Amino acid sequence: MAAEHIESFRECLDAVAKERRYLALTSAPPPDAVREFIRSAIMRRVPQFVALDGQRVIGWCDIFPHEKESFAHVGRLGMGMLRDFRGQGIGQRLAEKAIAQAKKIGLERIELDAYASNQPAIRLYGKLGFVVEGIKRKARKLDGAYDDVLVMVLLIS
Ligand SMILES: CC(C)(COP(=O)(O)OP(=O)(O)OC[C@H]1O[C@@H](n2cnc3c(N)ncnc32)[C@H](O)[C@@H]1OP(=O)(O)O)[C@@H](O)C(=O)NCCC(=O)NCCS
């Protein structure tokens, strides 16, 4: 991720969020907030990768380190692909890059939340070595429908 990708990244995030199925967000935050957040993350060398189709961001994977000192070895993974680009192996490559970078900067535990209904994501994470550590029952309610949240974790040494 470089500064030049931020605007297109926001559009990509917004499109996936607006599907209202996979992410906690239901739309992207305002442009200024995203710009500031990502610029600061670039400065801090947070693992963040984007997939490009020409100049257009079509997917992302990031792993944000926890800010508190006692949890600084923990990172939180988030990712998404635009619908038309799913199922081509790109998401897996993005996640592998981000995890490799997380390892380089010393993270030891990578966490994420996945909705129980999101089988493609759960399978991808399983393939990458994540295990289910717990299930938060009926933790998400959107458009009148509940979903369980799987807490998934990868320990890296
Ligand atoms: C989850 C997501 C990021 C995966 O990215 P992708 O590029 O589509 O995935 P890939 O093509 O790299 O597939 C990698 C693995 O994921 C799993 N997978 C991907 N799509 C799948 C599908 N439709 N059904 C079942 N498993 C699937 C498979 O294990 C696959 O490996 P395989 O092809 O060897 O079987 C993508 O589907 C997405 O953006 N979904 C919406 C947003 C989202 O769910 N974000 C994560 C929130 S926790």
Could you state, in order of their start, the residue ranges of all structural domains in the chain? 3-155
Put simply, whether the predicted model's pTM sits higher than 0.75 gets the answer yes
Which pLDDT score, from 0 to 100, does residue 77 have? Answer: 98
For 56-100, the pLDDT digits (tens) are 999 999 999 999 999 999 999 999 999 999 999 999 999 999 999
Superfamily of domain 3-155: Gcn5-related N-acetyltransferase (GNAT) (3.40.630.30)
Per-residue pLDDT at 117 exceeds 90: yes
Contact criterion met (CB below 8 Å) for 50 and 5: yes
Question: Which residues line ligand 1 at a C-beta cut-off of 6 Å?
Answer: 16, 22, 79-81, 86-92, 112, 114, 118-121, 123-124, 127
Which pLDDT score, from 0 to 100, does residue 157 have? Answer: 80
Per-residue pLDDT at 121 exceeds 90: yes
What is the length of the chain?
157
Which pLDDT score, from 0 to 100, does residue 98 have? Answer: 98
Q: What is the dihedral of CA 150, 23, 19, 144, to 10 degrees?
A: 60
- Which residue's CA lies nearest to atom 10 of ligand 1? 89
C-alpha to C-alpha distance for 96 and 79, rounded to whole angstroms: 12
